[in-house]
Amino acid sequence: MRAILPVRRDILNAMPRRTLVLLAILLAGCASATAVRFPNATPGAPRPIPATEFRPAGDGPFPAVVLFHGCHGVSDSTRAWGAWFRARQYVALVVDSWRARGFQANCAPTAPDPPNTERFDDAVGALSYLHARPYVDRQRIGAVGWSNGGVYAMSVVNGPSLERARRRGVVMPEPGYRASVAFYPGGCSSLVHEQVVRPLLVLIGDADDWILPGPCREMVTNMRTSGADASIVLYRGAYHYFDVAGQAKTFLADVENRNLPGGCCGATVAYDRAAAEDAQRRVEEFFGYHLKRS
């Protein structure tokens, strides 16, 4: 199993300065992405879910990754990650749970948030959609999510979440999601005493004041103690959105923050080049091992 790994900034800062250039290249490739739509898995009332598919050239079958956005909705950064996966020979499906429900891309305390079951149902529908694509290897599909979307990336490989879904008539298509990555995920405290059944990697800054790293570290420690393949990387001095290239260090005064009295308001966000590049390397290695090895 993987260890809980703090990251030394002196080593990270020695990395080459290439992330902004890479982002520009990847965004330029987003124009060839395809808009698609699939039904989610809500029993009796499936909802059409818009998504963007990034498909490599060729017939495949390719491994695939489903991407779940945070409360700010699908962003340029989300789409850049989709293109990043495509460049590495994955089919990447960016699920837009907000647009499906007419939600605005904001994180204010008054902003609507769908019931937890709905985004889980979106994830099940996304998997079914990919299973029907002849160019996708249905045995090798992973999940990745950011912030609000991170908890759903975790839930699709969490044993108790899968069982709760079955009790309401939602069954994950076999073999399910094979591995999951969660960037600064919400909801760690709700999974502290639960257990993932597939490999999980959590990436979070230790200075994050929007999603506190403590519950995520406790969650991973408990899962590992129980034998799960779970790991967490804590980036020293990094904040929320550390992987969003070009994001200046900013205090967002109007966002809901449940760590504050009354759940309002404010959180610090900032791009961290060294942490972002290390995260890219770890994501590539993690999915390469779990989705590409024979």
Q: What is the DSSP string of 73-138?
A: -S-HHHHHHHHHHHHTT-EEEEE-TTGGGT--S---TTS----HHHHHHHHHHHHHHHHT-TTEEE
Q: How confident is the model at residue 104 (pLDDT cuts 50, 70, 90)?
A: confident
Q: How confident is the model at residue 294 (pLDDT cuts 50, 70, 90)?
A: low
Structure tokens at 277: 């590049």
- Taking the C-alpha atoms of 143, 147, 151 and 153 in order, what is their torsion angle to the nearest 10 degrees? 0
pLDDT of residue 241 exceeding 60: yes
- Measured between alpha carbons, how far is 112 from 92 in angstroms, rounded to an integer? 27
Residue with tokens 């009295």: 261
Residues with Cβ within 8 Å of 129's Cβ and at least 6 positions away in sequence, in order, are 36, 38, 51, 93
Domain architecture of the chain: domains with CATH: 5-238+273-292 (3.40.50.1820)
The pLDDT of residue 28 is 47
The pLDDT of residue 233 is 98
Considering the entire predicted model, what is its pTM? 0.89
Q: How confident is the model at residue 14 (pLDDT cuts 50, 70, 90)?
A: very low
User: Which of 59, 48, 54, 49 shows the shortest CA–CA distance to 34?
Assistant: 54
Q: How confident is the model at residue 19 (pLDDT cuts 50, 70, 90)?
A: very low
Structure tokens at 81: 């990650």
Q: How confident is the model at residue 13 (pLDDT cuts 50, 70, 90)?
A: very low
Give 168-182 pLDDT, tens digit per residue: 999 999 999 999 999
Instruction: Report, as an integer, the average pLDDT of 92-98.
Output: 97
Give 214-233 pLDDT, tens digit per residue: 999 999 999 999 999 999 99
What is the number of alpha carbons within 13 Å of residue 272 lying toward its C-beta?
Answer: 26
- Measured between alpha carbons, how far is 150 from 143 in angstroms, rounded to an integer? 9
Pairing of strands 91-95, 48-54: antiparallel
